[in-house]
């Protein structure tokens, strides 16, 4: 009897596309801004999940690729007058290449040593950009308002950035799903479970890990280009914000490490919780403490994350939720 495969990926992408269309149909700029940030967080969390969830390498400094892509795209638009979409791709490619170059040596490290190395790379890049005058140094760069005239005005430019961020988020999820369902994904998960055994069965860990690192760097770089294009200003502190990288890790753990839907759910729940806490007079000053407590509870009692818990509690859902 032929097995019917659950259309998980199309269902998830259609659901997200419908949600993304709501602020456009209802002409609600406030909701559009909220979803813009949500899709950016989904991109960051899903991309980290490729190297952390599938491969087992915790990258605390993954935000460095968000900053690199943002800075290069911003510079191309401001200095050369390049169109935003072309500049975003042109910024993401060097970010992926840099990931390949630094991935070769640092992916030889394991555990805490790799995590510390990624933090060091992020801080080194932040220091370099802070002192690199073509990128504006410590002050950063900003757009003159007239630059948005190319796109029909600031409102149209913001909509273009929103469409782009939505497409990047959908593309990241699709890539994450494709990797997980492929032989390449199986190789990564074999490395995650036991790298030495993976080598015995013929897997080249070095090549697989570097390729996963390159893929995981490409999408945050695109997100960085869209984020700073919409903001009209970029500076080192925001481009290489280590806290945002750690928050992405929390989202992955909260939603479910190594699952496709986990980072999506984790980002949505975390962002909703943060919005609730920030606007609450009682909890506004304790949002980070509560987020830390949430991570602790998840690690101690729901180690598989929300999606992992659902799949374990209701095995029938494993055919429908990846």
pLDDT of 159 reads 92
pLDDT of 178 reads 93
Low-confidence ranges of the chain (pLDDT < 70): 1-6
Q: Please name the residues in contact with 92: beta carbons below 8 A apart, sequence gap of 6 or more.
A: 69, 73, 218, 219, 221, 222, 225
pLDDT of 4 reads 47
pLDDT of 6 reads 56
Radius of gyration of the chain (CA): 20
Each residue's pLDDT tens digit, 169-201: 999 999 999 999 899 999 999 998 888 888 888
- How far is Cα 170 from Cα 164, in angstroms, rounded to an integer? 10
What percent helix, strand, coil does the chain show, rounded to 5? Answer: 80, 0, 20
pLDDT of 5 reads 55
pLDDT of 208 reads 92
pLDDT of 125 reads 94
DSSP at 260: S
Whole-angstrom CA distances from 104 to 112, 189, 206 are: 17, 19, 7
DSSP at 234: E
Q: Which of 247, 162, 182, 179 is nearest to 216 (CA)?
A: 179
DSSP at 58: -
Helix (H, G, I), strand (E, B) or coil at 233: strand
């Amino acid at each position: 009897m032929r097995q019917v495969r659950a259309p998980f990926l199309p269902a998830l992408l259609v659901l997200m596309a419908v949600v993304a269309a709501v602020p456009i149909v209802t002409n609600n700029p406030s909701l559009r801004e909220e979803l813009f940030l949500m899709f950016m967080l989904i991109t960051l969390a899903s991309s980290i999940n490729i190297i952390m969830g599938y491969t087992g390498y915790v990258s605390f400094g993954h935000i460095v690729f968000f900053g690199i892509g943002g800075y290069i795209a911003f510079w191309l638009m401001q200095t050369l007058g390049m169109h935003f979409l072309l500049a975003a791709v042109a910024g993401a490619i060097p970010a992926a290449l840099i990931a390949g170059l630094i991935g070769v040596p640092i992916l030889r490290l394991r555990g805490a040593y790799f995590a510390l190395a990624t933090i060091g790379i992020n801080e080194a890049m932040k220091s370099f950009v802070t002192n690199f005058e073509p990128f504006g140094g410590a002050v950063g760069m900003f757009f003159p308002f007239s630059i948005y005239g190319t796109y029909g005005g600031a409102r149209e430019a913001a909509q273009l950035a929103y469409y782009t961020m939505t497409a990047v988020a959908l593309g990241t999820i699709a890539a994450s799903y494709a990797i997980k369902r492929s032989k390449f994904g199986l190789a990564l998960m074999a490395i995650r479970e036991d790298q030495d055994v993976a080598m015995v069965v013929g897997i080249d860990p070095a090549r697989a890990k570097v390729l996963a690192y390159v893929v995981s760097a490409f999408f945050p770089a695109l997100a960085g280009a869209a984020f700073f294009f919409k903001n009209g200003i970029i500076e080192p502190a925001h481009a290489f914000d280590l806290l945002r990288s750690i928050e992405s890790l929390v989202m992955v753990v909260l939603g479910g490490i190594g699952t496709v839907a986990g980072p999506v759910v984790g980002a949505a729940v975390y962002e909703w919780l943060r919005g609730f806490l920030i606007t609450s007079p009682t909890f506004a000053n304790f949002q980070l403490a509560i987020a830390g407590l949430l991570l602790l509870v998840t690690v101690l009692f729901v180690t598989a994350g929300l999606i992992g818990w659902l799949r374990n509690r209701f095995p029938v859902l494993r055919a429908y939720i990846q």
